[in-house]
Amino acid sequence: MNPIAELVAKKRIIVCAGSGGVGKTTTAAAIALQAALMGKRAAVLTIDPARRLASSLGLKELTNDPVRIPQRKFSSAGLEANGELHAAMLDTKTTFDNVVLRYAPTREQARRIIANRFYRNISGTLSGTQEYMAMEKLYELHSEGDYDLIVIDTPPTRNALDFLDAPRRMTDFFESRVLRWFLIPYMKAGGGFMRVANVAAGTFLRLVKRIVGAEVLDDTAEFFGNLEGMYDGFKQRARDVARLLQSDATSFVVITSPAEDSVTEAAFFASRLNESGLPFGGLVVNRVHPKLGDGIEVRPRQLDRLEKGDATGRLLAKLLDNESAFMRVVELEEKNLDSLARRIPRHLWVRVPYLEREAVDFPGLASVAQQLFAESGGNVSARYRTPRPKPRS
Amino acid sequence: MLLDEFFAPRILVVSGKGGVGKTTVSAALALLAARHGRKVCVAEVDRKGTLARLLGGRELTYEPNELLPGVWGLNIMPEEALGEYLRVQYHMRRISRAFTSTHFVDYITTAAPGLKDILVLGKIWYLEQGRGTHHRFDTIVVDAPAAGHMKNFLSAPAGLSDAVQVGPIRRQAEWLRAMLTDPARSRIHLVTLAEEMPVTETLETVTAVRDEVGLSTGTVFANAVYSDLLTRDEEKTFARLADSKEWSSFAAAGKSAGVKLDDEDVQALAGYHDFLEARRAIQTSHLRKLKREVQEPVAVLPFLFSAGLELPDIETLADVVEMRIDEQ
C-alpha cells in the first residue's frame, strides 16, 4: 500500500518537513486534499506565506483561522469530496497574542505584555518563534478544531533541522541564565543599571546600553518582569505539544528532491526524528526525472555518422544526445536515492515524477494528489506528451 | 556590457528564492571574476552550505581562506561578527563568552531587530574597507539570504536608524546604507527559475530592492533553463513520424550508422523529447513573463545535465555567464 495513504487513513496529524524548494507546501495541501476525498474532515496549515497555495485553492488569501474550501471547487475539477478541506496560514503574532492571553494571570498583565516593544520584536524576529507558534497553532487546531486530520508544512528554514530545535531554543531563551544574570539585577535595581552591584553584570549592561540604547533595556526588563508567573504555563504547554508530537496520532513525512543536498538533509532529518523520539512515517521524493528505457549505447563515431547523414539521421542524433543527457541525470538521481535507501527503506517512499503542469490551480493540485497517492508508491510511470499546436481556424 | 563594467561595483549581492541556485550563481560569478585577474572573496551568510563544496571542498570559516587560486571564501556567522564588532569598536580584547553566546546574540538582535543583519553587513563593510583583514579584495560576492528575507536584510540599516536614535551603531548603520545604495560600490543580482513561484517572487523582490531599498539592480539570472533541442523543421518531421507511428524510419536511420534501436529505445527517445518539450513549454511562458515585466536584463543560464554540481559545472556556468554579460 502507498505509505502516505496509510498515514492519511490512520493518523490525526501529519507534519511535512524538508529543505527549501522541494515542494513541501504543495505536498502538504495535496495530502489534505486526498484526505477530504477519502471522507475526512481535513485541514492544511501552512507556515509559508504561499499565495500560490491560496490561489490554487481558489482563495484570495489564507488566514490564521481555517477557511473551508467550497465543495464546488472539487466538482469543477471532476472530483467528489465526501469530507471537507479547510486551509489556514499561520499568523505568528496573533497566535503568540493568544498564548499570552491564555497564560497571563490578568487581562491587564496580558495587555501590558502585548503592548511591550520587546514583545512585538520577538514575534517578528526572534529565531524559533515562528516554529514554536506553528506547534502551538497545531495543538490548538488539534484540540479545538474537531478535525480528523491536520497536515502542516514546516517553516521555510533553509535547514529543516532548525525546525526541531527551534521551539526548545525559544523556551531556553526565556529562561536563559545569561539573560537572567544581567537582567534580574537590573530589574531589582529598579532600572538603574549604574547601581547594579554585580560588576560583571554592570559591564554587560553598559555595553548593551551603548549598543542598543537604554530604552531597549527598560522594555526588556518590563517584558521579563511581566512574564514572571507565566513560565509554568508555557512549560506545561510545551510538554503537552511535545507529547502530542511523539504520540501515535502524529507522523512526520519528509519531503525531498533527488538532488544530493536535499537527499543528504532528508536522511539526516529522518535520523534526528528517530533520536528525538518523533515518529517518522514516510518519504516523498518530488521532482524525479522519469527513467525511460535502460539507456542506449552509441559510440561517438556512430553519432558522427548520423550527424553527417540525412535529415532523419541528424534528427536521430539530436534525440540520442538528449536521451543520454537525461540518462546521466537519471543515473545521478538513482545514485543519490540509493544512498538514501540505505537510511530509509524504500517501502516507506513515494516517488513523484516531474509533472506536466504546475499546481497553480485546483485541478493542478488534484493531479499532484493523484500522483502522490497512485496505487504503487514505488513506481509511477509518467507519460509525457508534447502539447501539439492546435490548427488555426 | 564589458566585463569590467559588470564587476565595477566591488560588492555583488546575489539573492533569490530558496532552491533556485543562488549559491551556484555566486560561485560562477566568483570564478569569472578570478579568471579576469580579480582577487575575489565570496561570502556565505549564517549557514553551513554548499558553497565550499562547489569551489573545491575546503570548509568555510569566519576568517577568509583561499579555496581556489584567487578565490577566497568565508562564512559570516552573526555570533562571530558580534565578537569582531566588540573587539574593533570597543577595543575589548578578552570577550567574555557570554557576549557571543547564542542567547545573548538572540537577545540583542531581538531587542534591536535588524541588528543581526547589520552585523553581517558590517562584516562586508569591513571587508570592503580592508579592515580587520590583511586582504584587499577586488570583488566581494555575497551569497545572500533567500529573497523572502532579502528586503529586511538590505533595509536593516535604514530600519535601525529609526529604532536606535543615537550612538555609534546608528552612525555605522548609515555607513552601511551608503555602501549599499551607492551604485559604484554595490549591485544586486537576482537568481530565479523559469517557474511560477520563483518568477513572481523575483518580480516583487526586484521592485522592492530597487525602489524601496534603493539598491542598484544588475542582472536577473534565469537558471536551469532547458536549451532548444530541435529546429522548427526537425520538430515538424518528428511530429509527423511520431503521429504516424513511423518509428521504423528511426530504426532504419540508426541501423545505417550501426546503432541498433529496438522499440523500447525509440519509445525512450520520443519520451525524453516529449518530457523536454513539456518542461520547456512551462519554462518558456514564465520566461516570457519575466522578460516582459522586469526592467533589468535577463540572462538565461542552461540546465546542466548533472544532478550533483561540482567544480567543472561551475566552470561551464562561468563560461555562459561571461557570454551573457557580453551580450547585454
Q: What is the mean pLDDT of residues A194-200?
A: 56
| pLDDT, tens digit, 9 for 90 and up, residues B47-101 | 666 788 888 877 889 999 999 999 999 999 888 888 888 888 777 766 666 667 7
Contact residues on chain B for A356, CB-CB shorter than 8 A: 278
Contact residues on chain A for B116, CB-CB shorter than 8 A: 125
Residue of A nearest to B240 (CA): A388
Residue of A nearest to B231 (CA): A315
Contact residues on chain A for B105, CB-CB shorter than 8 A: none
pLDDT exceeds cutoff 80 at A128: no
At A383, the pLDDT band (50, 70, 90 cuts) reads very low
Among B168, B195, B257, the residue with its CB nearest the CB of A306 is B257
Q: What is the mean pLDDT of residues A172-176?
A: 73
| pLDDT, tens digit, 9 for 90 and up, residues B112-157 | 767 778 888 899 999 999 887 889 999 999 998 765 566 667 777 6
Of A178, A61, A330, A213, residue with least CA distance to B100: A178
What grid cell was written down for A294? 535502460
Of B305, B306, B307, B304, residue with least CA distance to B318: B304
Q: What is the mean pLDDT of residues A263-276?
A: 88
**Record: contact B99-A200, CB cut-off 8 A:** no
Q: How many C-beta atoms surround the C-beta of residue A379 within 10 A? A: 10
Q: Which residues are within 8 A (CB) of A113 and not within 5 positions of it... i.e. 6 or more apart? A: A100, A104, A119, A223, A226, A227
What pLDDT, on a 0 to 100 scale, did the predictor assign at position B308? 65
pLDDT exceeds cutoff 60 at A21: yes
pLDDT exceeds cutoff 60 at A82: yes
Q: What is the mean pLDDT of residues A30-51?
A: 90
Interface test with A, best of B115, B246, B259, B313 (most A CBs within 10 A): B259
Q: What is the mean pLDDT of residues A242-257?
A: 93
**Record: contact B108-A208, CB cut-off 8 A:** yes
What pLDDT, on a 0 to 100 scale, did the predictor assign at position A307? 93
Cα dihedral across residues A226, A242, B109, A51: positive or negative: negative
Position B223, amino acid: N
Q: What is the mean pLDDT of residues A304-309?
A: 93
Among B102, B200, B279, the residue with its CB nearest the CB of A354 is B279
**Record: contact B268-A293, CB cut-off 8 A:** yes
Q: How far is A5 from chain B (nearest CA, A)?
A: 28
Interface test with B, best of A131, A256, A384 (most B CBs within 10 A): A384
At A187, the pLDDT band (50, 70, 90 cuts) reads low
Among A173, A298, A325, the residue with its CB nearest the CB of B259 is A298
Q: How far is B35 from chain A (nearest CA, A)?
A: 27
Among A19, A208, A296, the residue with its CB nearest the CB of B261 is A296
What pLDDT, on a 0 to 100 scale, did the predictor assign at position A388? 38
Give the orientation angle of helix A177-188 with respect to helix A199-212, to 10 degrees.
Answer: 90
What pLDDT, on a 0 to 100 scale, did the predictor assign at position B325? 95
**Record: contact A336-B308, CB cut-off 8 A:** yes
Contact residues on chain A for B86, CB-CB shorter than 8 A: 207
Q: How far is B113 from chain A (nearest CA, A)?
A: 6
What grid cell was written down for B207? 521592485
pLDDT exceeds cutoff 70 at B14: yes
DSSP for A327-382 reads HHHHHHHHHHHHHHHTTS-GGGEEEEEPPSS-S-SHHHHHHHHHHHT-SSSS----
**Record: contact B269-A22, CB cut-off 8 A:** no
Cα dihedral across residues A26, A28, A33, A37: positive or negative: positive
Interface test with B, best of A158, A181, A207, A335 (most B CBs within 10 A): A158
Among B168, B265, B278, the residue with its CB nearest the CB of A384 is B278
Contact residues on chain B for A333, CB-CB shorter than 8 A: 307
What pLDDT, on a 0 to 100 scale, did the predictor assign at position B225? 96
Contact residues on chain A for B17, CB-CB shorter than 8 A: 20-21
What pLDDT, on a 0 to 100 scale, did the predictor assign at position A151? 97
Question: What is the rounded distance in angstroms from the CA atom of residue A84 to the CA atom of residue A147?
Answer: 9
Cα distances from A72 to residues A50, A55, A57, A65, A142, in angstroms, run 23, 15, 11, 21, 26
Compare A100 and B157 and report the one with higher pLDDT.
Answer: A100
Q: How far is A24 from chain B (nearest CA, A)?
A: 12
**Record: contact B104-A178, CB cut-off 8 A:** yes
Compare A365 and A204 and report the one with higher pLDDT.
Answer: A365
Q: Parallel, antiparallel, or unpaired: how do β-strands B65-68 and B71-76 relate? A: antiparallel
Burial class (CB in 10 A: 0-12, 13-18, 19+), A225: middle
- Average confidence score pLDDT of chain B: 87
Of B53, B75, B183, B55, residue with least CA distance to B124: B75
What pLDDT, on a 0 to 100 scale, did the predictor assign at position B307? 53
What pLDDT, on a 0 to 100 scale, did the predictor assign at position B6? 97
Q: How many Cβ pairs closer than 8 A exist between chain A and B?
A: 216
Question: What is the rounded distance in angstroms from the CA atom of residue B58 to the CA atom of residue B51?
Answer: 9
ipTM: 0.84
Contact residues on chain A for B83, CB-CB shorter than 8 A: none
Compare A133 and A201 and report the one with higher pLDDT.
Answer: A133
Largest CA distance in chain A: 93
| pLDDT, tens digit, 9 for 90 and up, residues B149-203 | 666 677 776 666 555 555 667 778 888 889 999 999 999 999 999 998 889 889 9
Among B18, B90, B230, the residue with its CB nearest the CB of A315 is B230
Contact residues on chain A for B104, CB-CB shorter than 8 A: 178-179
What pLDDT, on a 0 to 100 scale, did the predictor assign at position A186? 67
Question: What is the rounded distance in angstroms from the CA atom of residue A335 to the CA atom of residue A339?
Answer: 6
What's the N-to-C CA distance of chain A in angstroms?
48
Among B113, B197, B261, the residue with its CB nearest the CB of A121 is B113
**Record: contact A354-B111, CB cut-off 8 A:** no
- Average confidence score pLDDT of chain A: 84
What pLDDT, on a 0 to 100 scale, did the predictor assign at position A160? 62
Minimum mean pLDDT among A194-203, A251-260, B126-135, B233-242: which range? Answer: A194-203
Q: How many C-beta atoms surround the C-beta of residue B171 within 10 A? A: 10
pLDDT exceeds cutoff 90 at A163: no
Cα A259 from chain centre: 18
At A43, the pLDDT band (50, 70, 90 cuts) reads very high
